[in-house]
Chain A
Amino acid sequence: MKLIKKGLLDSWQSLPIYGLQHEGIPPGGAMDTFSLQLANALVGNDVYDKALEMHFPAGVFQFETSTLIAVCGADFTACIDNVEVPMNQPIKVPPGAIISCKKPVSGKRVYIAAKELKDEKVSRVKIMPWSMGPEDAPSQDPIRILCGREWDHLKACSQQLILSKDFAISATSNRMGYQLVQEPMKTVSSATMLSSAVTAGTIQLLPSGQLVVLMAAHQTTGGYPRIGHVISADLPRLAQMGPGDSVRFTMTDAMTAEYEWILQQNYLQQVRNVCALKLDQHRIDHR
């Protein structure tokens, strides 16, 4: 793929890479790991392969070889040679084709997975006749959180506020974290804590009383009170929100967090299996 025009924060992202956090090197990775994995599955890529993560306005790219692609995550009206193409569906593109995003419709980050078709020469855009992934509009349910170690530092009224009010995602939010806007939290004690580990989804309380949710590019440790944690299964949904959106939280438990995560992982594995089969079948049929 050749870059024609740079977008806002285009980057190649994979699943997070763990094992170096003791050096202060965070796992990083894609913001919406669900859409990343879905896009990779649709084109038959490996689980750990990279895909293009783009924000709006997105970059414009030209394919240099025959390629199988899939567009997942945010709906930015992806077009190939100025013709809109469907999301969550594998698409064969010929060399020279240009992919661009015309208009943001929903979500904040689009993922484009690509796999070079080495033994096939594609002469025109061809949309594969199968689609995978969520069929319904993204859920509007509150984002589920677990109690953080310092949840009890908050006064009851602030705990209640977190679980009942909408929080606006501030314009200063980025891949490191989302700053949330609400009336300042009230604390029982102002005891400072020692810096210790944080993870993606950790909700920290800033001394100003505002909350920040750590996202994919979070640091490894932090010294602000950890009042809660977004469950892993809901991080992809949060990653599709951004400045201009507001978020609501609800408390859940570890069992639910585990169950939802396993459900999501099983679903993705199923999608990978089905996609691999369909791609194999397609290759045999078109030999």
Chain B
Amino acid sequence: MIPQIYELGDSALTIEFGNEISEELHEEVIKRFYQFQSEPLPGTLDLIPAYASLTIVFDLGYVASRFQGLSGMKTLIEEKLAQPFTSPAMEGRLHEIPCDYSGPDLAAVASACGLTEKEVIAIHSEKIYSVFFLGFLPGFAYMGTTDERITVSRKDNPASIQAGDIGLAGNQTGIYPCASPGGWQIIGRTAQIPHFKAGDRVRFIPITA
């Protein structure tokens, strides 16, 4: 599949490799992240990997005055994507995270999925998840993929969430590293938030508080 490049406002370009959460796309994103990190394009301020995309934030004044702005950078990105690049081998750590499944949205998730609360807990804690990338908040690790039986949509309006809250959204799961407004369905909480890196693996161990 040919990656699509689109503008994210006036100062950033997003390279979209696909539209789903998969290990394969994730590997491509991380590989390209390393490529643009080791050979940065001129004017690069930030690289933001996500599930299936990599965003490059540029210094707008710099690229506008020297490289015909974002359209010029688009050409440079296309050239770089055409070059072969082999990233260094990734070795993820396995984190085992104790989880007290008594989140405020557990009952709502269970009823939305047609399951009992116990079943939701069993399904969520049986799988080993991949850390796809960090984002949204400092240290927030996007993990997946969750079993399709516990796929839930985000809340209509972001609610106030505490540090250590474990949430579900779509086929993603994650731990809020700090208090924040958030739209994920909170099913549990933990007192242990490790320093994640993209490529790590995670298992939730049910505990009772």
Contact = CB atoms under 8 A, between A and B. Distances in A.
A209 B57 CA distance: 28
B20 A194 contact: yes
A177 to B, nearest CB: 9
B8 A22 contact: no
B91 interface: no
B20 A24 contact: no
A206 B64 CA distance: 32
A219 B135 contact: yes
B149 interface: no
Contacts of B133: 22, 221
A208 interface: yes
B69 A220 contact: no
Given A22-B49, A254-B70, A195 B8 contact: no
A265 B156 contact: no
B154 interface: yes
Interface in A213-249: 219-224, 226, 229-232
Given A24-B140, A194-B50, A195-B172, A232 B8 contact: no
Nearest to B181: A176
Interface stretch (B11-19, B76-84, B109-117, B121-129): B11-19
B47 A196 contact: no
B86 interface: no
B65 A262 contact: yes
B54 to A, nearest CB: 8
Interface in A89-146: 146
A18 B10 contact: no
A223 B10 contact: no
B147 interface: no
Contact of A27 (B46, B155, B158): B46
Nearest to B70: A254
B138 A208 contact: no
Contacts of B181: 176
A146 B50 CA distance: 22
A221 B11 contact: no
Contact of B9 (A146, A208, A223, A262): A146
A146 B9 CA distance: 6
A202 B9 contact: yes
A174 to B, nearest CB: 9
A223 B61 contact: no
B8 A199 contact: yes
A160 interface: no
Nearest to A176: B181
B52 A194 contact: yes
B48 A220 contact: yes
Interface string B180-203: 010100000000000000100000
Contact of B21 (A22, A194, A261): A194
Contacts of B198: 22
B69 A258 contact: yes
Given A207-B153, A207-B154, A220-B48, A24 B8 contact: no
Contacts of A198: 8
A220 B64 contact: no
Contacts of A261: 10, 60-61, 64
A9 interface: no
A192 interface: yes
Interface in B1-32: 6-12, 14, 16, 19-21
B75 to A, nearest CB: 14
B153 A232 contact: no
B137 interface: yes
Contacts of B137: 24, 219-220
A149 interface: yes
Nearest to B19: A194
Nearest to A228: B9
Contacts of A168: none
A261 B9 CA distance: 13
B134 interface: yes
B45 A199 contact: no
Given A196-B14, A229-B8, A206 B157 contact: yes
Given A21-B47, A22-B133, 18 more contacts: A25-B138, A27-B46, A149-B6, A194-B19, A194-B21, A194-B51, A195-B136, A197-B12, A199-B11, A201-B9, A221-B133, A222-B136, A223-B183, A224-B183, A231-B10, A232-B11, A258-B69, A261-B10
Across the A-B interface, give the 7 residue pairs with the lowest CB-CB distance, nearest first.
A221-B135, A229-B9, A197-B55, A257-B10, A18-B45, A24-B134, A196-B50
10 contacts: A18-B57, A22-B134, A22-B198, A146-B9, A195-B50, A195-B135, A202-B8, A208-B156, A254-B70, A262-B64
